């Protein structure tokens, strides 16, 4: 099965379904507003296998929920700084274009 589906949307869906079935009777993740964007970030859809590998590395290094919360907080802080930097650069560019 892996040979025909590996690296495809069908393979991803089959893998996700097998995982869901294996979790019967276990704690299930709650739905959040970002779920659809999270699905789109999977490397089968985004092509960013490098980011997925880095995410695996980071998450594998942390085992407690507290450590994972700190990791996500750090990532959100980096995102916030990048967004603010992008906004500042856009403003500077707009001022130069207006001149």
* Strand, helix or coil for residue 21: helix
What are the pLDDT digits (tens) for 34-73?
999 999 999 999 999 999 999 999 999 998 999 999 999 9
With beta carbons less than 8 A apart as the criterion, state whether 80 and 74 touch: no
pLDDT at 15: 76
Predicted local confidence at residue 25, as pLDDT: 64
Could you read off the pLDDT of 12-29 as tens digits, one per residue?
777 777 777 776 666 778
Q: Provide the pLDDT for residue 14.
A: 73
Dihedrals phi, psi of 23, to nearest 5 degrees: -95, 5
Mean pLDDT lowest among 32-36, 79-83, 85-89: 32-36
Domain residue limits, the chain: 1-29, 31-60, 62-99
11 or 89, which is more confident: 89
Q: Where on the phi/psi map is residue 67: left (φ > 0), alpha (ψ -120 to 50), or beta?
A: alpha
Q: What is the pLDDT of residue 26?
A: 67
Which residue from 49, 76, 71 is spatially nearest to 60, judged by alpha carbons?
A: 71
* pLDDT score of 38: 92
Q: Would you give the end-to-end CA distance of the chain in angstroms?
A: 61
pTM value > 0.85: no
């Amino acid at each position: 099965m892996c040979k025909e589906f590996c690296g495809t949307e069908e393979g991803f869906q089959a893998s996700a379904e097998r995982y869901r079935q294996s979790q019967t009777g276990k704690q299930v993740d709650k739905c959040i507003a970002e779920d659809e964007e999270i699905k789109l970030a999977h490397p089968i859809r985004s092509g960013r296998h490098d980011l997925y590998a880095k995410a695996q590395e980071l998450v594998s290094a942390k085992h407690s929920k507290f450590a994972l919360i700190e990791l996500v907080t750090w990532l959100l802080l980096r995102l916030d700084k990048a967004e603010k930097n992008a906004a500042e650069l856009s403003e500077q560019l707009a001022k130069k274009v207006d001149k």
